[in-house]
Each structure stands twice: as C-alpha cells, then as structure tokens.
Structure 1
C-alpha cells in the first residue's frame, strides 16, 4: 500500500489516458494519491480529479516560477478552495532560482503570502525548491512555518539541510532521482531520514525513475521509488510502504 504524495495527474500529458493511468496505479498498490495544482489551469482540475476518486486528494497553491502572475484574487481563491473536503495542503509553493520568469523578490513575496495563508487555514505546506535551499529555510523559519509543517517535495539537496527541515515539522519526500545512478544526494538522504518523517512521490509526469528515466512518469512508478529506498535502507519493502503511507496520512490529517 503506497501513497504518491505529489503527482500531476492534472497535467496535459495525461489528458488522453488519465483514467487508465489512475487504475494502473491502483493495480500496482498505490492506494492514495495527492494531485498538485499550482496555477489557474491546474488547480480546478486537481480538485475535479480528487472529487471523482475516494482515495485521491488535492493540494492548491502557486508555483514560484509563475509568482509574477499571481494576483490578490488568486490568493483569495486559494484560501476559499482550502476548505474543500478533498484539499489536504497548500502548495506547491517555494522558490525556483533556475528559471528567471519571476524575479526573486516577487517569488519571496508570493512564498511568504502562501505560508501565512497556510497558517491562517491551518494546513500543511508543500515546498518546491530549486537552487534556493538556504533562502527557503530562512523564510520558513522567519515565518514560523513549523506551526503547520509540511513536505519538502522531491528533496534533492545535501543531508546537512535535513535536520533544519525536520526541526520545522517538515517531512522529506523522495522521488525518481533516488533511483538515478548519478544522483548520490537523494540516496544518502534516503538512508538517513528518520523513517517516521519519510515520504515517497513521483512528481509525474516528470522525473520518471529508473528504468523508465526519460519517459513519461506516472503514479504506478512510485513503487520503484519505494523499492529503491527499501534497498538503500536494507529494510522490508512492505514495512517501508506501510510507514510512508502512515506518514502521508499524518501530514495530510487523514486520520
């Protein structure tokens, strides 16, 4: 039993065969999924998909790459949607210094606004981080994000930053890169993160794990991620699956 904590079933890549992809995931032991909405196009579809399946949930937020596009009305909209019974988190949000569409100061402003919103509605946060670790940790600390905690989505950073995240009540989520031969960081993180703070994800349709690297990712492949982590930790796959699912249900307040 697995929980794909971060999947974009609302992506255009799944428009033609979304139902088949979902059922393929269920058949591969993926019992739960969280569909992430991050802009005006993907947020409504995330909720629509969640409404159609009992064990699929949604999160709503604004991606840092598109921070320059977010308006006050968008922030209010996200707040209203946070009360939907299938919405379990605010995000993904954060900082992305790889792309230059949105200036850093705009990204930071939108990031802080969403952290404050999450605290207002008492919901966990899903963090997108690309080449911005120190600034993200600083902002989370300054905004007292530990009050709601959340998920460090697709963690691909040094082990030295893990403790700061754990201290703020964040879980560490690993995806496809943990299976890549040339990706030592997530492998080391997989070995060291406390089991009760570890999550698995796909980020599908992106970052497909080995041996499907370079192809379209899908939630069924979260099993490959969990299998790799169980090997790295030298532990039983079923135990890892059960614990990471329990962790996801805890952070998403699913009982």
Structure 2
C-alpha cells in the first residue's frame, strides 16, 4: 500500500533537526511521496535542498497569505523558474479572510499573480482558502487554473462548492479534520469528491488527527486520516490509498 502526503511542511522548526527520523517514520507508514509546501520566499531554497536529500520528498514554491507582510510582489516573478528548479507545484498560495496577517486586497493581489504564473508555466497549484470561497471562484474565473490542475488543501467548503471548483480542473486534499467525528458536511463533501478528486494530506506539523489532539502532527499520522476516509466512504483503506496515490501522481506528475 503506497500513500502520498500532498501537503506538509518539512521545513518546520518542529522537524528540521530530526528530519531523518520523520522521513523514516513516513516511509514505514507506506508514504511513497511527500510534498513539502513552502510559505515564504526564504524557504524556497531550503525546501529544494530537503527534496534533493530525500527521494521521497518533493517541494512546491509559493507565498502563503499569512506571510505577505514579510514578502514582496517583486518576489513572485522568480516563481516562473519553479519548474526548472525542480518544484512540482506553485503553493502554498491563497486567500484567507480569517487571518489578521494582511489586508485582503493585498492577499488577493499576491494570490492572483501567483496563480497567473502557475497557469503560464503550467504547474499545478496548492491553494489555501478560508472564508473566501466566493472570491476564490471569481479569481479562477478571471485568471484561470493551470491545465495541470491542482488542489484546494484542507478543503472546508460545501459539496456544491466542490462541484463548482471541480469545473476548473481542481481537486481537494483533506487531512486530520477527517477524524473529527461531528462533521456531517465534511463527510458529504468526501462522498462527492471521492474517488477522482480526493487526495490525502497531513498539513503536518499542524492539524493533527483527533487521536493526537494537542500534539505535533507528523506525516506518518496520515494513517489515521486514511482510516477515517475509509469509514466515511465505505471503501477499503487499500483502495483509498490506491485512488489517492493515483490522483497525486496524475496532478503532480510524480513517479511512484
């Protein structure tokens, strides 16, 4: 059984000094690939070096909406070289109305410029969106999505919204929130997007499964998310692993 964690943050201070063990534990859990998503330009080179050191690791390049204050729009043109630098995606990019890290118009400018770069070089996107799905759809209508597609990570919208976003060629990843037993909406969404548009993530070191509440999240905890997805869909863990790994390989052009 092979798995792909399509969204984690291996450059985190929680991991960087014990990365050999983190990767070994992920490998033991059946994770064939991990995509570490950068959030600021000063992480791009560090994550590229991590990906170059571990065959299981791929990386993406992007500027997260929480960190636009410490970044510049002038950083974005460098993303046009992401493919030649070995990145498999542009991300983590997006918009977030539930954060105080920057005015929304500036967030939107960062997001749309990065989305345009991804479209121009045809790398998939990894999108963060909270409380701004209407604006997300408008940006996708305005700029377009890469032909390669991409994912909305830790998706929290409705089944109807998921259906609308799928029309742009995008898919969805979900992680620890799958283990939260009280979410009927999340279950309804998963049943709508599975099997072709569902991928697994951990967002580690954040958003641990309920079984590890209050602890640092690790990539190998993806097994809790896989089990929860099996319980929700009624499919086997093995079949979900097969489908989500196939989806990840297709979207991010992974050799698994």
Specify the TM-score bucket, using the shorter chain as the normaliser.
over 0.9
Query: What SS class does the counterpart of residue 12 from structure 1 fall into?
Result: coil
Q: Tell me, in whole angstroms, the C-alpha distance in 1 between the residues paired with 2:220 and 2:83.
A: 27
Are 1:201 and 2:201 matched, yes or no?
yes
Deviations 1:105-125 (A, max 9, x none): 111111110011001111111
Shift of 1:72: 4.1
Native 8 Å contact 1:2 1:223 kept in 2: no
Look up the match of 1:157: 157
Look up the match of 1:44: 45
After superposition, the Cα gap between the structure-2 partners of 1:146 and 1:167, relative to the gap in structure 1 and judged at 3 Å, is farther
Native 8 Å contact 1:11 1:42 kept in 2: no
Q: Tell me, in whole angstroms, the C-alpha distance in 1 between the residues paired with 2:211 and 2:26.
A: 17
Describe how 1:226-245 pairs up with structure 2 within 5 A.
226-245=226-245
Task: Give unmatched runs, 5+ long, in structure 1.
Answer: none
Query: What SS class does the counterpart of residue 32 from structure 2 fall into?
Result: strand
Native 8 Å contact 1:4 1:222 kept in 2: yes
Q: Tell me, in whole angstroms, the C-alpha distance in 1 between the residues paired with 2:254 and 2:41.
A: 26
Shift of 1:146: 5.5
Look up the match of 1:192: 192
**How many residue pairs align between the two structures?**
254
Native 8 Å contact 2:122 2:146 kept in 1: no
Describe how 1:26-175 pairs up with structure 2 within 5 A.
26-85=27-86, 87-145=87-145, 147-175=147-175
Shift of 1:100: 1.8
TM-score (norm 2): 0.94
Deviations 1:53-86 (A, max 9, x none): 112100000101222433244112222233223x
Describe how 1:6-45 pairs up with structure 2 within 5 A.
6-45=7-46
Native 8 Å contact 2:119 2:146 kept in 1: no
Native 8 Å contact 1:36 1:91 kept in 2: yes
Following TM superposition, the consecutive aligned residue runs of length 4 or more in structure 1 with deviations greater than 3 angstroms are none
Cα RMSD for the two superposed structures: 1.4
Query: What SS class does the counterpart of residue 33 from structure 2 fall into?
Result: strand
Task: Give unmatched runs, 5+ long, in structure 2.
Answer: none
Query: What SS class does the counterpart of residue 195 from structure 1 fall into?
Result: coil
Query: What SS class does the counterpart of residue 172 from structure 1 fall into?
Result: strand
Deviations 1:21-76 (A, max 9, x none): 11001001111100111103322222111111112100000101222433244112
